Amino acid sequence: MGLGKLIYDSAKNRVPMEYAEYSVADRENAIRDKFFEVLGVEGYEDKKAFRKALRRHKIETYEIIEEVVENVLANGDYLRDAFVQQFVEVRNLALGDENRFYIKGEVALQVAEFSGSHFDLKRQRLDVGDHFFVTMKDYGIKVYEYAERIAAGRVDFAAIVNEIAKAVDRKMIDVAEATFVKAIEKTPDAFKIAGVQNSTPVEDILEVVQHVEAANGQAPVLLGTRVALRKLNGVKDVAMISSNMKDQLNEMGMIPVFEGVQCIELKQGHKLGTFEFVMPDDKIYVLAGDQKPVKIVLEGETETKEISDGTTNPDGTQEQVIRYKMGAAVIYGGVIGLISLA
């Protein structure tokens, strides 16, 4: 096992068998000792020797960081995010996946591609099936710490790498959500309804459902958080709710079928490092089929560059820039409906 993977697994509490009997503190010390071995030093105490060793072994240090980031890209927390699990298909070229998506013909294709600072949006009609590719872009994050604090042992190398992992996770989720939201904004008006509340005629909502079914050729489902689906249930006439439906509402917090359309709860989650919910509680998506609309493609390899000269960082910081290639696009063989609740 490489040191980078060991640091990553330790940060995620996936402890290798050889460290199963170690306390958290002992495991961190063991990781620190392995890093010292890479640098060929006894410890942090001799600051001058440490700095010299770090300069001599830059490539090995970069490889450790790159290994951590590559583990994040392949196994990161973003894969367990509520939004990603429901709406995002992730492919990693380093694991043998292809940057190639086939969409069947006779559909209206929605495409929204994230290009770093803007979106390229288009919609087209396909008469036959075709393959599509996600354009890859460079992404990068910077981290720094004072060399003196590293040398003194007040900041652990593993802690810095763990922060890098969190930053990559956040970026992955942010890009996926932003790509999806931008594509939904371009959905034709016939597939959207806004301001839905208790007084909204049920027929207006079902009209959107019918449009989605007609465009996709499949019966759609309604996807939303428990709160969102509960709000939608409020549109129904109370007098029309059976005893069984009342029991379902009490037991599940929602009625699993709305006017003959299946309702599926999107599990809510927190955005990384916050108590802010990932999924909106005022949106319900109307989807047909099991196709995940957002496609993320990872090159799977990373590149690390250090910036530590006095000209670039006059405050004496030691900085790493981690770059990786990723592409994000909505490639969806159909149309997604949107119900916005008041």
Using one digit for the tens of pLDDT, what is the confidence trace for 46-83?
A: 878 887 888 888 888 888 888 888 888 888 888 887 77
How many other C-beta atoms are found inside a 10 Å radius of the C-beta of residue 175? 21
Give the C-alpha separation, 194 to 117, whole Å. Answer: 28
Give the C-alpha separation, 292 to 278, whole Å. Answer: 17
pLDDT of residue 123: 46
User: Is 72 in contact with 168 (CB distance < 8 Å)?
Assistant: yes
pLDDT of residue 239: 56
pLDDT of residue 124: 45
Give the C-alpha separation, 138 to 208, whole Å. Answer: 38
Question: Is the Cα dihedral 234, 240, 243, 244 positive or negative?
Answer: negative
**Helices (H), ranges, the chain:** 3-11, 24-39, 47-56, 58-75, 82-87, 147-152, 157-185, 202-216, 226-233, 243-252
Return the structure tokens found at 103: 């969409």
Q: Which of 207, 206, 216, 231 is nearest to 287 (CA)?
A: 216
pLDDT of residue 107: 47
Average pLDDT per block of 10 residues along the chain, 342 residues long: 81 78 82 86 82 84 84 83 84 87 59 48 52 82 66 69 78 82 82 92 94 90 90 68 70 78 83 79 90 86 71 62 85 86 92
Q: List beta partners, residue 208.
A: none
Give the C-alpha separation, 282 to 310, whole Å. Answer: 51
pLDDT of residue 304: 78
93-140 pLDDT, tens per residue?
888 888 888 776 544 444 455 454 444 444 444 455 677 888 888 888
pLDDT of residue 142: 75
pLDDT of residue 12: 76
3-state secondary structure of 294: strand
pLDDT of residue 57: 87
Q: Where does residue 12 rank: exposed (0-12), middle (13-18), buried (19+ CB within 10 A)? A: middle
